């Protein structure tokens, strides 16, 4: 019986993880930052498929969003590298993604 409960729990976890990851992707792509900004502080509490989410964000040129996720999960160096690359115009964000500029770097360093 406990084995069955373990299997059901594991499947339920992966379903929740897939849903949470999909919500982040949809919020980034379609919601003009409103929902994404609300979700970022919960990054560490939600069961996310982080490698999949970050790969999707970067491959779709949502570099600022990827940077925010990196910063929220303690990967400050990766966040700074992305944001500096944006500032230096080595990479360009998707048309619908706003990049706040140097202020996001300063805010992250001051936290």
- Supply the pLDDT for residue 10: 65
**Residue matched to tokens 């339920």:** 12
Q: Which helix (H) or strand (E) holds 31?
A: none
pLDDT tens figures, 37-77? 888 888 888 899 999 999 999 999 999 999 999 999 999 99
CB atoms within 10 A of CB 82: 24
- Supply the pLDDT for residue 45: 87
CB atoms within 10 A of CB 34: 9
CA–CA dist 18, 30 (Å, integer): 18
Domain boundaries, the chain: 2-110
pLDDT tens figures, 5-15? 556 556 666 78
């Amino acid at each position: 019986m406990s084995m069955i409960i373990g299997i059901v729990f594991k499947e339920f976890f992966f379903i929740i993880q897939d849903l949470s990851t999909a919500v982040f992707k949809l919020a980034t792509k379609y919601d003009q930052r409103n929902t994404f900004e609300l979700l970022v502080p919960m990054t560490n509490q939600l069961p996310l498929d982080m490698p999949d989410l970050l790969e999707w964000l970067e491959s779709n040129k949502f570099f600022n969003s990827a940077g925010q996720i990196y910063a929220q999960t303690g990967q400050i160096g990766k966040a700074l590298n992305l944001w500096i690359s944006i500032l230096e115009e080595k990479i360009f964000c998707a048309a619908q993604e706003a990049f706040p500029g140097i202020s996001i770097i300063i805010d992250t360093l001051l936290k």
